[in-house]
Amino acid sequence: MLPSSQLKKIRKELEEHKNPLIFFHDDPDGVCSFLQFYRFVGDGKGIIIKSFPELGPDMLRKVDEYQPDIVFVLDKPTISQDFIDGIKSKVVIIDHHPPPKEPYRNCDYYNPRVQDPKDNSPVSSICYNVVKQDIWIAMTGTVGDWTLPDFLPEFQKAYPSLIPEKIKTPQDALFTTKLGTLVRIFSFILKGNSYEAMSCIKVITRIKHPDEILEQTSPQGKYIYKKYQKVNQQYQELLKIIKQASQKSKKLLSYIYSNRNSFTSDLSNELIYLFPDKVVLIGREKSGEVKCSLRSTKIILPPIVEELFKSVEGYGGGHEHACGICVKTKDFEKFIKLLKHFIPPV
Ligand SMILES: [Mn+2]
């Protein structure tokens, strides 16, 4: 976690600025970070970043349009210096991915890894330690990034039905609890284009209790749940197909699909939970590229990924046991062959 002096400094920024523009990563951790800051200030505007891999100067248009008094960038690992330099107001970046080799200039940069390279506390848990409100949103984002935070006991006390006390790992929280369903809801409403995603997020800014969504006790909650159900139907169909295909796989479970929502991260997470002894690679083919999520419980992935890119054109990286990778469709077979080579026999 960030030192309390830094948490206080961020809180002061939120108290002293009335019109923040908040860019955030399009996953539950990013969304929940945005929601906490937005609800704390009570005003401002959020922009979901779907661009990959970099937040670039093309987004400056949005800054000029809105004229904010401060810009936040939450949970987004790669930001171009030109983007930062093009902003007239103050820029505050909060992240928990490995910091850039060349530190960003002209901004305040907060990342727990700067002090402790192993501390990758999700951004939504950092935001909670800043604002100290909306613990259910903070918890959703944090568990969405496979982490149980220090405020878990406090949360269990406030929302005992969402996460039973016996839960001791993020995996069990994700796949066996109501909180896990909430994480999935927050992930699935982001599918589709930015406009649709933002209109759902706007609805959530007005929701006071998670049961409004989970039990559909308010019109807002009902709206969110309906959107989730529609996406979930697609997801469950794909999951079923991949589970069947998995019976033929040995040490590597790989599956490529196209023409559907981007589910590679959600699918690979659920499949590695179901098949912890395999390496899981789920890819989505689109315009000549395959975007993949790679998971393993045992193997440290980033050095392997780096090694693969010496022979195959592509980019990607990520955490020790979870990586995002992009390869050209024409190179994909070669990529899989090489990958298999790096996985030790079961
Ligand atoms: Mn994150």
Residues 216 and 301 in one domain: no
Residues 205 and 338 in one domain: no
Measure 123 CA to ligand 1 centroid, in angstroms.
6
Measure 144 CA to ligand 1 centroid, in angstroms.
8
Residues 85 and 153 in one domain: yes
In contact, 109 and 98? CB cutoff 8 Å: no
Question: Residue 333 sits in a domain of what CATH number?
Answer: 3.10.310.40
Question: Residue 185 sits in a domain of what CATH number?
Answer: 3.90.1640.30
Residues 191 and 223 in one domain: yes
Measure 106 CA to ligand 1 centroid, in angstroms.
23
Residues 207 and 310 in one domain: no
Looking at 228, 259, 288, which one is the last position of a domain? Answer: 228
What is the maximum alpha-carbon separation in the chain? 58
Measure 130 CA to ligand 1 centroid, in angstroms.
16
Residues 83 and 183 in one domain: yes
pTM of the model: 0.92
- pLDDT (tens digit, 9 = 90+) per residue, 108-158? 999 999 999 999 899 999 999 999 999 999 999 999 999 999 999 999 999
Residues 187 and 47 in one domain: yes
Looking at 198, 228, 258, which one is the last position of a domain? Answer: 228
**What pLDDT score does 345 carry?**
77
Q: Three-state DSSP class for 282?
A: strand
Q: Is residue 194 part of a domain?
A: yes
Measure 275 CA to ligand 1 centroid, in angstroms.
24
- pLDDT (tens digit, 9 = 90+) per residue, 249-299? 889 999 999 988 889 999 999 999 999 999 999 999 999 999 999 999 999
**What pLDDT score does 252 carry?**
94
Measure 151 CA to ligand 1 centroid, in angstroms.
17
- pLDDT (tens digit, 9 = 90+) per residue, 81-110? 999 999 999 999 999 998 999 999 999 999
Measure 29 CA to ligand 1 centroid, in angstroms.
5
Give me 234's structure tokens.
Answer: 């697609």
Looking at 194, 228, 262, which one is the last position of a domain? Answer: 228
Number of domains in the chain: 2
Residues 125 and 274 in one domain: no
Distance, CA of 18 to CA of 25 (rounded, Å): 22
Q: Three-state DSSP class for 24?
A: strand
Confidence bin at 191 (pLDDT 50/70/90): very high
Range of the domain at 314: 249-342
Among the listed residues 7, 314, 253, the one whose alpha carbon sits nearest the alpha carbon of residue 130: 7
Q: Three-state DSSP class for 117?
A: coil
Measure 77 CA to ligand 1 centroid, in angstroms.
9
Residues 175 and 210 in one domain: yes
Measure 19 CA to ligand 1 centroid, in angstroms.
24
Q: Is residue 233 part of a domain?
A: no
Instruction: Tell the residue number behind the tokens 């939504």, with chain if given.
Output: 124
